[in-house]
Each structure stands twice: as structure tokens, then as C-alpha cells.
Amino acid sequence: MDEEAVSYLSSLRDDEEILLEDIEGTQAHVIMLYEQGIISGDEARQILRALEELKGEAAEGKIELRGGFEDVHELIESYIISRVGREVGGKVHSGRSRNDQVALDIRLRVRRYLLEIWREALSLGRALLSRAEEEKEAMIIHYTHLQHAQVGYISHYLLAHLDHLLRDLERLEACYHRVNKSPLGACAIAGSTLPLNRNRVAELLGFDGLVENSVDAVSSRDFALEAVAVAAIMMTNLSRVAEDLIIWSSSEFGYVELPDELASPSSVMPHKKNPCILELLRAKSGKIIGLLTSLLTIMKGTPTGYNRDLQEAKTLIWEALKEARDSAKILTKVVQGIRFREERILERVEESYAPAIELAEALMIHAKLSLRDAHKLVGALVRQLHDEEKSLKDLDYKTLEDVSEKVLGKRVNLPEEDLRKAINPKEATKARKTAGASTPNEIARVLEERRESLEKTAEGFEINLKKLLRSREKFEETIFMLIR
């Protein structure tokens, strides 16, 4: 091939991510070829030995992905041939195509990424849970439209994001099982006349089963699209947490303070403490959405079967999954280290009009007003207090009576005790009766339940990880038995 053409189409550099996967996938294929009588024990031994050496060098970072190769698959095959000769090494690719080979490598690599993201998301979940536990008593304002909405608790905010994350974890787990299937043995697209044992390869590599249909096996990348989509959705959630914390760390809000070791100084302004990590997380979530869009667009027009377009998808997949993993990891540190300035937040809570809704509901419950009348009356009260530069907690019984006479044409009959409770933020939250509300009782219940949900997904993670480790042990044992 023309040198420039090879350099244009070569994926060699992007294949660094799947170097190990390609070596191991090839080893599994070779073991199966031997077990099926397609190559001899001696041939298998020679090839496996060469691959073991290559694996060792790869693990030490000694392999340079260079030369005029189109990809890592060519490079490895030519390495084997250079080590054991063409007569033996030339058999390694029997019954295999680069099409099923690269699909296998991508599945192996995405599987590994998903486990890493799973682990980091679990840590983040634990951090959110333990901060929610710590902040159980601390109040905050819940915002809508970024305006004071209702008063509540920091822990309720944190638990909301834990619930987001638990759904991310559910999506991740489901995706993991769809990824963890072996495409190898599909050959170029329609199978092989050699007596390959596809299930054996799947077993050796710790897959749960096969991507059965050979056309599907080489054509599909939906497993990777799904993984990136899961990552993009998770990142969208994380990005909103980042955004909240960025706003809350501004001088105007001053609700949170980043630990020094997670904040960036300015090169010129000595007083600065910039939330750069969170800004980058916000940006990276945008980037991952872009990567997902690129991937979907690359895929949508390719005819069924392998097309070289699919090669261009690989780096996008690595990049998206790596960024998602690292983002979950760094956000865990932020969540663990961030300080909520509870006193300052409480000042904002106490001067807020946010308990207005509880006051309106008290008027409905105790003074038997309709929602509309209560809404009208409390709206007028808030306007008057606002004009007098007072907060809701300054509302006295006389003002309530006067204003109600004015706007409703009657005196409301709200016991003074109920008025006092309704405009006191803490009392107001305690009076909430709905499931899932920002009230101490519900928060305490939810904390316990979510602890269990987290442990359940942690169990799922451990089970899958152990399964892989066990099959890896067996795989290595099998190689060892064949090469000794």
C-alpha cells in the first residue's frame, strides 16, 4: 500500500487500548484451535509462548505500536510469525477474521471500562450516602428556577443525587451483561468451515455467552453505544452536581467550600480558589455527549457487516468511558471533602420566604381556606413583608388578620401556635406528611433503604468481578499447562 494511505487508515496508535485484549483473545483462539485438533500441541505451545512473552513486554510498556501496520491485529500476527516462523505462526488466524477479532477486543475493553466505572460510581454513591448521614440535621433551600422554592435538608439533596446514581448503576449493570458476550468465531461475517468451538473461546475469556448470529457479531457496536450512552447519562447527572457546587461555592452563595487540595489558584489574583475540577467535569460531560453523537452518526449509515468506518468509533469509545470513570472518581473526592457552611446556609433559610407554601397549607388545614384563597392571602403577606424588608419569620398575628381582611374580606382563624409553626423552617419541614419529602423522618428512612440498595449493587459488582477473576485464573492455568 501507499505509505500515506497506510498512515491514513492505520488504527495502530488507537489500538494501544486493546493490545492486551488482542493478545489474550488470540491466546484463547489458539487454545481452542488446539483443543479442536486444528493445530497441534507443539504449534499451540510455540504460539502461546511467543504471546506470553509479548504480554510480558506489553505489561512493561515495552511494545511500540509502530511500523507500517494497519492495526494491532496485523502487528501481533507478524510478531508471532517473526518469532515462530511462517509455517506455525501462519496458522494463528485460522478461522478468524479481523472483523470478529476487533469486535472481541472492543467487547473485552468495554467490559473492563464498565467495571472500572462501576467501581468508581459505587465509591461516589458511598460518599453521597455518608455525607447525607453527616448532614442529616443541616437545612438548605431547595431551588426551582434557581429561586428559593421550599426549605429542606442538605441530606435530601445528596440523596436525590444518590438516587440518580443508583439508576446509573442499574443501567450500567444491564449494559455490562449485554457487552459480556463473545463474537469470536463469526469469522468475516458468516462463519467458518473449520470445526471452531465458539463457546470454548467465550468460556476462556470469561464471557457469559455468545453474540450468536455471525452477522450480528461482526456488525454490531450497539453494545458500545449503550455503554457510552450510559456514561453520558451518568455524566449529565454528575455535571449538574458540579454545576450546583460551582454556584454554591461562589462568594454570593458561599454555601460550600472546596478543600484547598481540590481547588485551583489563580496565576495573578492571590485570593482565588477556583472550582476548576468541577468546571472540567461539566465540560467533559459535554464532550461525552459529543462523542456519543459522533458514534451514533458513524454507525447509522454503515451497511450491515464490517465496514472500516467502525474503526473510527474505537477511540471515541475509549475516550468517553475513560473520562466518565475519571469524573466519577474525582467527584467522589469532592463530595468527601467539600464543606457545607451550615451556619451561613441556615441564615439564608431563616430569612427565606420559602415556608410560604407551608403557611398556605396551614391555612387550608387549620383555617379551612381553599388553596386559591390561601395562595392569595400568603402572596399578599409576602409582598407586604418584602416591602417592609422583613422575612416570613417576622410575620405576626396582627398582620395576618389585617391582610386577610383586606384581600379576603374576612379574618382567618388560624391558631397562633399553628402560625408560628408554619413560618418556622424546621417546624415547617417536620409537618410534611408525604413519602419522599424533605423531612427528617423520611430522610432517616430513605438513608437506611439506600444503604441496602447500594450494597446490593456492590454485591453485583463483586460477583461479576470474581467471576472474571476466576475465569482468568483458569485461563492462565490452561496457558501454563500448554506451554510448559
Could you list the residues that contact ligand ARG (CB under 6 A)? 11, 70-71, 73, 98-99, 102, 306, 308, 310-311, 314
User: Is 78 labeled as catalytic in the residue annotation?
Assistant: no
Q: 21 or 120: whose CB is closer to ligand ARG?
A: 21
Of 174, 177, 172, residue with least CA distance to 120: 172
**Contact call for residues 392 and 429 (beta carbons, < 8 A):** no
Q: Whole-number minimum distance, CB 98 to ligand ARG, in Å?
A: 4
Q: Whole-number minimum distance, CB 40 to ligand ARG, in Å?
A: 28
**Contact call for residues 110 and 136 (beta carbons, < 8 A):** no
Q: 65 or 149: whose CB is closer to ligand ARG?
A: 65
Q: 103 or 423: whose CB is closer to ligand ARG?
A: 103
Q: 98 or 198: whose CB is closer to ligand ARG?
A: 98
Q: 298 or 356: whose CB is closer to ligand ARG?
A: 298
Q: Whole-number minimum distance, CB 96 to ligand ARG, in Å?
A: 11
* DSSP β-ladder status, 139-144 and 147-153: antiparallel
Of 56, 96, 52, residue with least CA distance to 74: 96
Considering 40, 78, 266, 370, which one is annotated as catalytic?
A: 266
Q: Whole-number minimum distance, CB 223 to ligand ARG, in Å?
A: 15
Contacts of 313 (CB under 8 A, 6+ apart): 221, 224, 295, 298, 299
* DSSP β-ladder status, 256-257 and 339-340: antiparallel
User: Is 266 labeled as catalytic in the residue annotation?
Assistant: yes
Q: Whole-number minimum distance, CB 315 to ligand ARG, in Å?
A: 10
Q: 98 or 284: whose CB is closer to ligand ARG?
A: 98
Q: How far apart are CA 468 and CA 17, in angstroms?
A: 19
Q: How far apart are CA 218 and CA 282, in angstroms?
A: 35
Considering 145, 251, 267, 271, which one is annotated as catalytic?
A: 145
Q: Whole-number minimum distance, CB 178 to ligand ARG, in Å?
A: 20
Q: How far is CA 305 from the centre of its chain?
A: 30
Query: To 5 degrees, how large is the angle CA 308–CA 32–CA 189?
Result: 30
Q: 6 or 346: whose CB is closer to ligand ARG?
A: 6
Q: Whole-number minimum distance, CB 311 to ligand ARG, in Å?
A: 3
Question: b/e for 209-236, b at 16 or more Cβ within 10 A?
Answer: ebbeebebbbbbbebbbbbbbbbbbbbe
Using N-to-C axis directions, what is the helix angle for 309-337 and 98-134, rounded to 10°? Answer: 10
Q: 68 or 85: whose CB is closer to ligand ARG?
A: 68
Residue whose cell numbers read 510478531: 79
* DSSP β-ladder status, 147-153 and 256-257: unpaired
Q: Whole-number minimum distance, CB 14 to ligand ARG, in Å?
A: 8
Classify the phi-psi angles of 391: left when phi > 0, otherwise alpha if psi is within -120 to 50, otherwise beta.
Answer: beta
Q: Whole-number minimum distance, CB 215 to ligand ARG, in Å?
A: 14
**Contact call for residues 201 and 185 (beta carbons, < 8 A):** yes
- Burial of 206 by CB count in 10 Å (0-12 exposed, 13-18 middle, 19+ buried)? buried
**Contact call for residues 205 and 24 (beta carbons, < 8 A):** yes
Q: 191 or 337: whose CB is closer to ligand ARG?
A: 191
Catalytic sites, residue numbers:
145, 266
